Chains A and B, each alone.
Chain A
Amino acid sequence: MSQLAVDAARLPRARGRALGRPALSSGLALGYLSVIVLVPLAALSVKGAQGGWHHFWQVAWNPESKAALELTLGLSLAVVAINAITGTALAWTLVRDDFPGKGIVNTLIDLPFALPTIVAGLTLLALYGPTGGVGVNVAYTRWGVLLALLFVTLPFVVRTVQPVLIELDREMEEAAASLGANKLTIFRRIVFPHLLPALLSGVALAFARAIGEFGAVILISGNLPFKTEVASLYVFQRLNSGDEQGAAALAVLLLVISLGVLLGIGGVRRWAVRHDR
């Protein structure tokens, strides 16, 4: 009896210990996160906000920065549209199709994640640049920048859509087919609605990546203001010419866009979970 009582008395304390010391490990994690991520971003935000709202816009909004931001947004939307189609098609090929070398293709999809961005840019220039020998030269053009962005964002949609396609129950599709629906109708009415949340978070990740990409575009863009200068290149350029304020202002805008995309992805996930139930 008394032994039992002792055990029972130990239980809650033991449980607390099993979870570690929350305050200590959470504190360490928070401290590390603050030193590495939070404080630098705070320094950026303060610099960007220096001189008030009106001044911020004056610095952030000039013809060159406006052109850079518009180009970046336009290209990123193009990246979203192209990736939505090619990413879904690639995921479909990997899940529903069968062909020799499928395992290799599946591995290759992740290469843009593993490959340093500067190497990505260099490889594209090697083939599609002035000395590529295939009859196209996209160096210093917007097509080149688009190509670089497509390269680095290739895995996102494939890797978000693929697991959903694997899990997807094919019975519904078979039922629809037996009721006379054609393939396009089946895809549009049955498969696509299931893929939509995954597709949305995939393109959102691709969008965020495209908005901020730097390494892959620096060689291929040639950094021509009003033509191929994207937002990240503009920030870099401003800093190199000693205009910390101008660099910080546009960087703050990029930071806000990234935060917005992250919140959007969180929203899509919660929405998808609610719809699953």
Chain B
Amino acid sequence: MTARRLIRFGSLGYLALILVAPVGLIFWRAFEHGWHPFWVAISNPDAVHALKLTLEVTLVAVPLNTVFGVLCGLAIVRHRMPGMGLVNALVDLPMALSPVVVGLSLYLLYGRQGWFGPWLTDHGVRVLFAYPGILLATTFVSLPFVVREVVPVLREIGTEQEEAAATLGARAFTTFRRITLPAIRWAVAYGVVLTTARSLGEFGAVAIVSGGIAGRTQTLTQYVQASYDNYSQTSAYAAAVLLAGLAILTLLLMTKLRPREEVHGNRGA
């Protein structure tokens, strides 16, 4: 009994000290003088622009990675082709890779002296320090989540129903829409939630490729950093609380969606 108590208070105490207290404190700091200072800080034009940019990037990156995630999941599970082992390994890489490495890779590819740099400059296309660069970085880091959720479910459901549908004359797309998609929809939904959270919160990769120009290429996470560095703590806390609020919303959605699927290991952020 005493051992159980010790483990309980030890582990919960650790959680409280490292997670609950710090996160709780920034909410308190953001609202300690009421809603008004929070509102003033968050309606600052740079903050509003940063939020809009973050949402614009997320709204493109998430659908892209969702369509890719389902296609890639199907390719990994159903099509035993040469090269699929490599695909399977590569899909996990963004989860284990430092965001700085991601940002630097994009910088070296699209930068002025990069592989595509001269061509892009000649044709007047801006990738770095502009929307496309931020989108590429965000898509890179949030790529694995839908694939990783969809693959185990596809493995589990097997191909019997799909084969039956095809035998009855259904076309490939009809089979996918009527049989496969309903079976994997909760896994896709869970993956979408994780992808969204990652896209909204990406910092390191974007920090390298965006340039972080306030009011132009600054995302909300970068706005938090810039505000803190400029000793404007109220703005930093307000934007951080907004992001934390979105994270908690994500968490609630995750809890709602999870019981429908088996809890499984490999889930990173």
Q: Which of A135-170 contact B (CB under 8 A)?
A: 147, 150-152, 154-156, 159-160, 162-163
Flag if B94 contacts A37 (CB, 8 Å). Answer: yes
Question: For the complex, what is the distance from the CA of A201 to the CA of B165, rounded to whole Å?
Answer: 39
Binds A, one of B33-41, B42-50, B118-126, B245-253: B245-253
Q: Which of B89-144 contact A (CB under 8 A)?
A: 89-102, 104-109, 113-115, 136, 139-140, 143
- A11-54 CB mask vs B (1 if < 8 Å, else 0) is 10011011111100110111011001111110110010000000
Flag if B79 contacts A128 (CB, 8 Å). Answer: no
Question: For the complex, what is the distance from the CA of A150 to the CA of B96, rounded to whole Å?
Answer: 16
Known: A28-B71, A163-B265, A205-B268. A251 touches B243 (CB 8 A): no
Cβ-based interface call for B255 (8 A): yes
Question: For the complex, what is the distance from the CA of A39 to the CA of B102, rounded to whole Å?
Answer: 11
Question: For the complex, what is the distance from the CA of A92 to the CA of B108, rounded to whole Å?
Answer: 46
Cβ-based interface call for B183 (8 A): no
* B7 / chain A contacts, CB cutoff of 8 Å: 89, 92-93, 97
Flag if A90 contacts B11 (CB, 8 Å). Answer: yes
Shortest A155–chain B CB gap in Å is 8
Question: For the complex, what is the distance from the CA of A41 to the CA of B172, rounded to whole Å?
Answer: 35
Cβ-based interface call for A108 (8 A): yes
Flag if B165 contacts A18 (CB, 8 Å). Answer: yes
* B106 / chain A contacts, CB cutoff of 8 Å: 40
Flag if B75 contacts A119 (CB, 8 Å). Answer: no
Cβ-based interface call for A112 (8 A): yes
B159 CB contact (under 8 Å) in A19, A151, A244, A247 = A19
Cβ-based interface call for B182 (8 A): no
* B165 / chain A contacts, CB cutoff of 8 Å: 18
Flag if B104 contacts A235 (CB, 8 Å). Answer: yes
* A151 / chain B contacts, CB cutoff of 8 Å: 18-19, 22
Number of A positions contacting B (CB below 8 A)? 99
Shortest A153–chain B CB gap in Å is 10
Shortest A193–chain B CB gap in Å is 18
Question: For the complex, what is the distance from the CA of A114 to the CA of B140, rounded to whole Å?
Answer: 17
Question: For the complex, what is the distance from the CA of A28 to the CA of B3, rounded to whole Å?
Answer: 55
Question: For the complex, what is the distance from the CA of A168 to the CA of B264, rounded to whole Å?
Answer: 15
Question: For the complex, what is the distance from the CA of A107 to the CA of B263, rounded to whole Å?
Answer: 13
* A37 / chain B contacts, CB cutoff of 8 Å: 90, 93-94, 140, 143
Flag if A10 contacts B105 (CB, 8 Å). Answer: no
Question: For the complex, what is the distance from the CA of A28 to the CA of B25, rounded to whole Å?
Answer: 46
Flag if B87 contacts A255 (CB, 8 Å). Answer: no
B204 CB contact (under 8 Å) in A202, A214, A231 = A214
Cβ-based interface call for B187 (8 A): no
Flag if A114 contacts B75 (CB, 8 Å). Answer: no
Q: Which of B211-230 contact A (CB under 8 A)?
A: 221-222, 224-225, 228
* B107 / chain A contacts, CB cutoff of 8 Å: 239, 244
Cβ-based interface call for B197 (8 A): yes
Flag if B79 contacts A117 (CB, 8 Å). Answer: no
Cβ-based interface call for B189 (8 A): no
* A19 / chain B contacts, CB cutoff of 8 Å: 78-79, 159, 162
* A172 / chain B contacts, CB cutoff of 8 Å: none
Cβ-based interface call for A194 (8 A): no
Flag if B251 contacts A114 (CB, 8 Å). Answer: yes
Question: For the complex, what is the distance from the CA of A22 to the CA of B99, rounded to whole Å?
Answer: 32
Flag if B166 contacts A116 (CB, 8 Å). Answer: no
Cβ-based interface call for B157 (8 A): no
Question: For the complex, what is the distance from the CA of A23 to the CA of B42, rounded to whole Å?
Answer: 49
Residues of A near any B CB (own CB < 8 A): 10-11, 14-15, 17-22, 25-26, 28-30, 32-33, 36-41, 43-44, 47, 86, 89-90, 92-93, 96-97, 99, 105, 107-119, 122-128, 132, 147, 150-152, 154-156, 159-160, 162-163, 183, 198, 201-202, 205, 208-209, 211-215, 218-219, 231-232, 235-236, 239, 244, 247-248, 251, 254-255, 258-259, 261-263, 265-266
Residues of B near any A CB (own CB < 8 A): 3-4, 7-8, 10-12, 14-15, 18-23, 25-26, 29, 68, 71-72, 74-75, 78-79, 81, 83-84, 87, 89-102, 104-109, 113-115, 136, 139-140, 143, 159, 162-163, 165-167, 169, 171-172, 175-176, 194, 197, 200-204, 207-208, 221-222, 224-225, 228, 236-237, 240, 243-244, 247-248, 250-252, 254-255, 262-269
New A-B pairs, 6, CB < 8 Å, besides A44-B105, A89-B11, A113-B269: A29-B71, A44-B108, A123-B22, A232-B99, A247-B104, A258-B96
Closest 4 CB pairs of A and B: A212-B98, A116-B201, A18-B166, A214-B204
Can you list 9 contacts pairing A with B, beta carbon distance less than 8 Å? A22-B79, A41-B105, A107-B254, A117-B201, A118-B201, A119-B224, A126-B29, A212-B101, A236-B100
